[in-house]
Structure 1
Amino acid sequence: MNGIGEHEADKHAQVWVLKAGQWVLAEDPVAIHEGHHDSYEAVLQAAGYRVWTGVAEPYTVPLMLNVWARSEEPSFLFDLEGPGQSQTVYAAALPDALTLLNQLAPTLQALAITDQIAHAEPETRSVLADVLDTLHDRRRDKRGRLLNDRS
């Protein structure tokens, strides 16, 4: 044996699934396909998952999210990927997936904004500045200098 007891080995094949608002451990639906395919995407597809949605592009933000979906439970696979590792969790059904997305919303919003700023082209940076000025109730003169509203 490889030093991992039978009891501990069973834990390695389990994953966290959000089901009816509660986190439960369940058998990993993807594990049986690992080692039989060339890529992680091929493994997910072999388990019946297809891309559902995602946030961010590689190397532009510190955390990316990809969500995969299939018809059988657990229906949604959430892949959170950082620079050094990734973490996968599941949602049993659509209400659970929406709950999890809602919990991740503040992080996803920050990632989306960071992604937009990272990809801002020089000709669109003035638009970004205009949005920030509007959000902070700032005004600028024709030369782009901030106006002091203290009259």
Structure 2
Amino acid sequence: MSGIPVHEVDRHRQAWVLKADQWSLAQDPVAEQEGKYRGYTEAIKAAGYTVWTGVGEVYMVPLTLTVWARPEEPSFLFDLEGAAETQIVYAASLPDALTLLNQLAPTLQALAVTDQIAHAEPETMSVLADVLDKLHDRRRGKNGSVIQK
């Protein structure tokens, strides 16, 4: 997210919006709803957003992403939640959201893999081992030991 301008004074009522590959501060549509509702999720919904997609589960991975969408600009809200802090940014339109998702893709890919490993059950661990063996071009014998090449 390089090229983001320096923070401005009224930051608590403004949010970063990506539009046509440019970042700018704009009025935060969710901040306008805060105080009227009990929780932040209720404020997001009151601003007209519904969940569009997401990855990761809180407390299971170090960073989760939930993307919310609505018809009017800014059309997409990106909720990045870390262990200690949450950051919200917006994308004005679908092309802007896809650009931002593309920028986040390496992180999202790592989150998806971490999430799968975190949810692996003992009965599916052999599938995970098979995937890792395939990635590392390894073969195993019937007893599970690695066959040397």
Note whether the superposition's TM-score is higher than 0.5. yes
The residue number in structure 1 matching 2:133 is 133
The residue number in structure 2 matching 1:72 is 72
Deviations along 1:76-119, whole A, 9 cap, x unmatched? 00000011110000000000000000000000000000000011
Between stretches 96-105 and 26-35, larger displacement belongs to 26-35
The residue number in structure 1 matching 2:120 is 120
Give the strand-richer structure, 1 or 2. Answer: 2
Following TM superposition, by how much is the alpha carbon of 1:12 offset from its aligned partner in structure 2, in angstroms?
2.6
Gaps of 5+ in 2: 1-7
Matched residue count: 142
2-structure distance, mates of 1:41, 1:12: 17
Percent identity reads 70
Superposition map of 1:1-150 within 5 A: 8=9, 10-149=10-149
Q: Which amino acid letter does the alignment assign opposite residue 129 of structure 2?
A: A
The residue number in structure 1 matching 2:4 is none
Query: RMSD over aligned Cα, in angstroms?
Result: 1.0
2-structure distance, mates of 1:120, 1:38: 35
2-structure distance, mates of 1:38, 1:25: 26
Larger Rg: 1
Deviations along 1:48-98, whole A, 9 cap, x unmatched? 111100001111000000000001100000000011110000000000000
After the TM superposition, which segments of 4 or more aligned residues of structure 1 sit over 2 Å from their partners? none
Q: Do 2:13 and 2:32's aligned partners in 1 also have CA atoms closer than 8 Å?
A: no
Give the TM-score, by structure 2 length: 0.93
Gaps of 5+ in 1: 1-6
Following TM superposition, by how much is the alpha carbon of 1:24 offset from its aligned partner in structure 2, in angstroms?
1.0
Q: Which amino acid letter does the alignment assign opposite residue 87 of structure 2?
A: Q
Following TM superposition, by how much is the alpha carbon of 1:123 offset from its aligned partner in structure 2, in angstroms?
0.6
